Structure 1
Amino acid sequence: MTISSEAPARTHIVQVRLGPAGNPMAIRHDGRIWLVDPDTASQHWFTRDSWWHTRRNATVGSGNLVSVEHWRVQVLGSNSALRTFELRRAPLSEQWLLESITDN
């Protein structure tokens, strides 16, 4: 099932192409490529993972285990209106999740 504005609670794994500064430039979702609109301001923030629930053990120097990265970006698809994608990436993960899609 495709995530849509009618079903925003489901998360889907997506591929995200990052620019040199680490910001999303394009997102591959549901067989389509969505380009981040360069004329709109993206929002970027971090939250903290509840590490006490995940019970991750780590050795010294293994990296940041608690910062969850979030992006809210405006995207354009071919023949599609502007939409808002909210992305999330867990600590130490290369995998991005699409949290929600909102039609503008």
Structure 2
Amino acid sequence: MTATANETVLDATVDVRFTPAGTPLAVRHNGRIWAVAADPVHWYARDAWWETRRTAAVGSGDLVSVEYWRVQVRPGSSNSALRTFTLRRNPLSTWWLLESISDAG
């Protein structure tokens, strides 16, 4: 990923709260709750397993699918400007990472 002038690359662990339908509702980052304020975008990418040389026992699960969500958020219930968070979950991980933050506009 290439960072732009208004983007901060982080890879920080965050807590993500999901709706019953499985879409992000809120993100907790640095002790602050960021409410999702627009329809999130969801996709998967493939991990370069040949570069990480990750090995696992047969039946361990999916070792190559990296899950992403791009969400537009604002602090709590404020009317402040939207920020865009790119969230990532690596294969076999239970933790979400805040990959980057950028201005929504």
Shorter-chain TM band: 0.7 to 0.9
Aligned counterparts of 1:13 and 1:85: Cα–Cα separation in 2: 12
- Is 2:49 aligned against 1:51? yes
- Residue identity matched to 1:95: W
CA apart distance, 1:42: 1.1
Q: Which runs of 5 or more structure 2 residues have no equivalent in the other structure?
A: none
Question: Helix, strand or coil for the counterpart of 1:76?
Answer: strand
RMSD: 1.7
Report if aligned partners of 2:32, 2:75 keep a CA contact under 8 Å in 1: yes
TM-superposed CA distance for 1:84, in Å, is 1.1
Runs of 4+ with deviation above 6 angstroms = none
2:8 aligned counterpart, secondary structure:
coil
Q: 1: CA distance between counterparts of 2:42 and 2:10?
A: 21
Q: Does 1:84 align with 2:102?
A: no
Report the structure, 1 or 2, having the larger strand content: 2
Other-structure match for 1:12: 12
Aligned residues: 98
Tell me the secondary structure at the aligned position of residue 58 of structure 1.
coil
Quick check: 2:7–2:103 contact (8 Å CA) kept in 1? no
Q: What's the counterpart of residue 95 of structure 1?
A: 95
What are the equivalent positions in structure 2 for 1:15-26 lying under 5 Å apart?
Answer: 15-26=15-26
Opposite residue 35 of structure 1, the aligned amino acid is A
AA at the equivalent of 1:63: G
Partner SS state of residue 10, structure 2: coil
Q: Which ranges of structure 1 fall in alignment gaps of 5 or more residues?
A: none
Identity among equivalent positions (%) equals: 59
